[in-house]
Chains A and B, each alone.
Chain A
Amino acid sequence: MEATPLLAAERIDKRFERRLDFAGRLAVKLGAAPGNETVHALDGVSLAVRRGEVLGVVGESGCGKSTLGRILAGIMPASSGRILWQGADRDRLTGTERRTVKLAVQMVFQDPASSLNPRMRVADIIGEAPLVHGQVTRAELGDYIDTILRDVGLDPAMKQRYPHQFSGGQRQRIGIARALAVEPQCIIADEAVAALDVSIRAQIINLFDELRQKRDLTYLFISHDLGIVRFIADRVVVMYLGRVVESAPTSALFAAPNHPYTVALLAGAPRLEDRKRAFAAIEGEIPSPLNPPRGCHFHPRCPHVMARCREEAPRLSEIAPGRLSACHLNQA
């Protein structure tokens, strides 16, 4: 029997509906436009983050990684499904318990330019939430901020500056400090190093690793960069068009990917070892989430597509201990 996961998503659905304004509705009435558009950003996503692990989430843009991260972080509600914190339904909690659980999951964002409020000083960006929530007193605040800044590798002397006075890497450290300030247990990093230069990226990845050990953190690490996920994650979840298609321990996944999409993804990624390689690319475009293909979402591009794949969506099922995959080939 496995221990209860720290954070789990159970059959999460998320639909974004584009409500039409008056002109839009008129256009629909006149037959000039299709009706309300619904993006099915997440389609029955389940996953569990175990305490102390780094769970990587990979997939191409628009597949729902950020949406999943934001729902897990409590920034937006799911359309249906449950989020469990240590086994308890998070939406049923109230009062201080609700707040404690909400603060326990924090997010680090992708864009170092827009993720910090440009009108606030660093000290306020970091200190606001712990002060408002009474986690520290105003008297302790200064020292508290200094400690956190040192933890993320910034000089506390800079805390009266504004975000625009920092480089991208430093801003990302401030974003991490802001998350750490409310003593979270789980950090969701959404493409947190994607916007950084290679040499700076390594500094921040190392910082994530240091903090994990120092503060007993659990990470959900969202990235489209397979190299980084392979390096940092213990387990990996692969998403395609709003669904989880495969999940496995990192080494197993990279050694022997099961799902045809995972295979394509790994094969397509450029590697440092390549020399004058003949890029042989997977065919076809990524379908629009506005109207995803029937059956297996990957079937229009899959080299192994069968008749069944066009009709029936494959279930995510265990193919080996600790490994899940959603492909009809496994049931053949």
Chain B
Amino acid sequence: MSGNPAMSAPVIETLFQRFLAEMLEDRIAVGALLVFAALVAVAVMAPFITPQNPYDLAQVDILDARLPPGTKASEGFTLVLGSDGTGRDLYSAILYGLRISLSVGALSGVIAMVVGASIGLVAAYVGGWVEATIMRIVDLQLSLPAVLVALILVAVLGKGVDKIILALVIVQWAYYARTVRASALVERRKEYVDAAVCLDLSQSRILFRHILPNCLAPLIVVGTVQTAHAIALEATLSFLGVGLPQTEPSLGVLIANGFQYMLSGRYWISFFPGIALLLTIVSINLVGDRLRDVLNPRLKR
């Protein structure tokens, strides 16, 4: 960055630096980001920081079942958050559950984003009946309650991680398609697209190299919020017993398992996984809110 003396210093900062600075201005968002980062970190490191692998039957003792927080397990370690109905250490189970919840949410989010963004982009650029058809499907999809659609889909598709992800993608692509189409329609009218047409660049180049990168900001915002949605939705399905199987116990499955003990006073079996789920969803949403404030109106200067 050398050269023009007339250029004043503050202008030189990159868009990213400005973005970062504005992002960090909001204490709540920073807090949420830290919480979320911590959740991801413990989920990734779960095997190294938990006293037991809750799904290795050899490590779990049925005699430890339903012990309250703070009790010592037969293996000798303390059950910080108590144990569940099968004697698993709840702390370990939550971290492993978080792994599954987060990966299901992230994976379905990414796939839905790629699929939805491509469809939305094509709709905006091609126009005509293609756009009309796509957008009618999107409207239809968005007018139905997500839980209901997801319920029907898993009922048809059956259980399993891949099926849940497929169901979540089908439920969510429409949000991304709508977002991308809206911003692509705005971008399309800008003069830089005319310039690209005048320079005889190919349609796909204009679409993916020029228009798409300029639609990323709202896409990221929707992406965060939708990922939180996906996690919540998966938990809901699992809680209802139609989501993930017992062999892939996400937070939702854990909550469901403990629910039957709720009335008998053994609140912790459902309560702690519930707290973990709540922290995850709220922290992602808070970060998403701040992203929306920072990315949407201003970076377009």
Contact between chains at B199 and A157 (CB < 8 Å): no
Interface members, chain B 1-47 (any A CB < 8 Å): 1-4, 7, 11-12, 14-15
Contact between chains at B4 and A73 (CB < 8 Å): no
Q: A74 with B198: in contact, given A111-B191, A117-B210 (CB under 8 Å)?
A: yes
Contact between chains at A164 and B201 (CB < 8 Å): no
Render A68-103 as a binary contact track against B, CB cut-off 8 A, 1 for contact. Answer: 001001110000000000000000000000010011
A-B contacts at CB below 8 angstroms, number: 75
Contact between chains at B301 and A114 (CB < 8 Å): no
Stretch touching chain B among A33-41, A42-50, A128-136, A289-297: A128-136
Q: In this complex, what residue of A is CB-closest to B4?
A: A155
Q: A118 with B195: in contact, given A158-B3, A164-B15 (CB under 8 Å)?
A: no
Contact between chains at B191 and A114 (CB < 8 Å): yes
Q: A132 with B201: in contact, given A115-B195, A117-B210 (CB under 8 Å)?
A: yes
Q: A175 with B15: in contact, given A129-B201, A164-B301 (CB under 8 Å)?
A: no
Is A261 on the interface with B (CB-CB < 8 A)?
A: no
Contact between chains at A182 and B191 (CB < 8 Å): no
Is A162 on the interface with B (CB-CB < 8 A)?
A: yes
A165 to B12, CA, bound (A): 6
Chain A contact residues (Cβ within 8 angstroms of B): what range?
A: 35 or more
Chain B contact residues (Cβ within 8 angstroms of A): what range?
A: 20 to 34
Interface members, chain A 147-191 (any B CB < 8 Å): 155, 157-158, 161-162, 164-165, 175, 178-179, 182
* Shortest beta-carbon distance from A67 to chain B in Å: 12
Partner of A99, one of B4, B200, B205, B301: B200
Contacts of A120 in B (CB 8 A): 210
Q: A165 with B198: in contact, given A111-B191, A115-B191, A115-B192 (CB under 8 Å)?
A: no
A118 to B216, CA, bound (A): 12
Contact between chains at A109 and B195 (CB < 8 Å): yes
Contact between chains at A158 and B4 (CB < 8 Å): yes
Contact between chains at B191 and A129 (CB < 8 Å): no
Interface members, chain A 110-151 (any B CB < 8 Å): 110-111, 113-120, 128-129, 132-133
Partner of A182, one of B12, B192, B199, B214: B199
* Shortest beta-carbon distance from A194 to chain B in Å: 13
A102 to B14, CA, bound (A): 35
Q: A133 with B200: in contact, given A119-B214, A165-B12 (CB under 8 Å)?
A: yes
Contact between chains at A178 and B195 (CB < 8 Å): yes
Contacts of B300 in A (CB 8 A): 118
Contact between chains at A107 and B198 (CB < 8 Å): yes
Is A106 on the interface with B (CB-CB < 8 A)?
A: yes
Contacts of B190 in A (CB 8 A): 114-115
Q: In this complex, what residue of B is CB-closest to A117?
A: B192
* Shortest beta-carbon distance from A92 to chain B in Å: 17
Contacts of B197 in A (CB 8 A): 74-75
Contact between chains at A107 and B200 (CB < 8 Å): no
Kindly list 6 other residue pairs between chains A and B, CB separation below 8 angstroms, not including A114-B191, A129-B199: A75-B194, A107-B194, A109-B191, A110-B191, A115-B190, A155-B4
